């Protein structure tokens, strides 16, 4: 059996990565593609780093169990499967949904730091980087964290200034130029992302079919 085609998709907070992923995955049948999310590899809260003001900083590579993420990806590439608890904000691990991830011809790995983890990144056949202007990503983050997480503006801005932006500049932006495709998402027009995801899925499908022939 041919080795699966492995795609890495990274992007900062508010870049539109989640919406792009949903659109992209929709172009494939369930048996053709599988998704591995870096968020599902957050270490327990007790092991997370604390900043100088006593806040947990979830925006550092050390927050992620990258060894386990690498191991699970290698399992999928070898044709196997694994189970993993799904990470959802404010849902305790004991109540988290248990996911079964099975190998497929196309494997998508998404997350903030997936290009920063060198051994993991070496397994990607294709890299996608979602990008957007800082003001736009901040406004999107404010809207999300207010509506979905109940944060007030002071909390959001503290995390943005002290955690999110420094992490983006240190652990994401340096890898932008290593991407095979950079997608700039400065609009709130869904049709733009839908179009780009369709173009990319068609391009990758032709590459994969050609490589397998």
- 75-134 per-position pLDDT tens digit: 999 999 999 988 766 656 666 788 999 999 999 999 999 999 999 999 999 999 999 999
Q: How confident is the model at residue 154 (pLDDT cuts 50, 70, 90)?
A: very high
CATH of segment(s) 5-212: 3.40.50.300
Whether the CB-CB separation of 111 and 58 falls below 8 Å is answered with no
pTM: 0.89
Q: Where are the domains of the chain?
A: 5-212
Average pLDDT over every residue of 163-188? 92
| Cα dihedral 92, 53, 132, 107 sign | negative
Q: Is the pLDDT at 150 greater than 90, yes or no?
A: no
pLDDT at 76: 97
d(CA 77, CA 82): 12
Q: What is the DSSP code string of 137-161?
A: HHHHHHHHHHHHS---HHHHHHHII
């Amino acid at each position: 059996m041919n080795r699966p085609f492995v795609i890495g998709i990274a992007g900062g907070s508010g870049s539109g990565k989640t919406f792009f992923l949903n659109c992209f995955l929709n172009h494939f049948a369930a048996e053709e593609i599988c998704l591995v999310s870096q968020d599902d590899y957050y270490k327990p809260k007790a092991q997370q780093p604390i900043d100088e003001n006593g806040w947990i900083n979830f925006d550092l590579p050390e927050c992620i169990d990258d060894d386990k993420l690498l191991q699970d990806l290698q399992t999928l590439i070898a044709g196997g499967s694994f189970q993993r608890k799904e990470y959802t904000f404010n849902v305790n691990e004991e109540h988290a949904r248990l996911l079964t991830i099975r190998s497929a011809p196309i494997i998508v790995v998404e997350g903030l730091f997936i290009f920063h983890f060198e051994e993991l990144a070496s397994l990607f056949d294709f890299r996608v980087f979602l990008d957007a202007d800082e003001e736009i990503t901040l406004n999107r983050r404010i809207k999300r964290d207010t509506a979905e997480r109940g944060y007030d503006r002071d909390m959001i801005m503290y995390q943005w200034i002290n955690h999110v932006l420094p992490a983006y500049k240190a652990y994401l932006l340096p890898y932008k130029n290593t991407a095979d495709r950079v997608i700039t998402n400065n609009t709130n027009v869904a049709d733009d992302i839908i179009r780009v995801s369709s173009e990319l899925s068609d391009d990758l499908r032709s590459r994969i079919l050609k490589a397998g022939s």
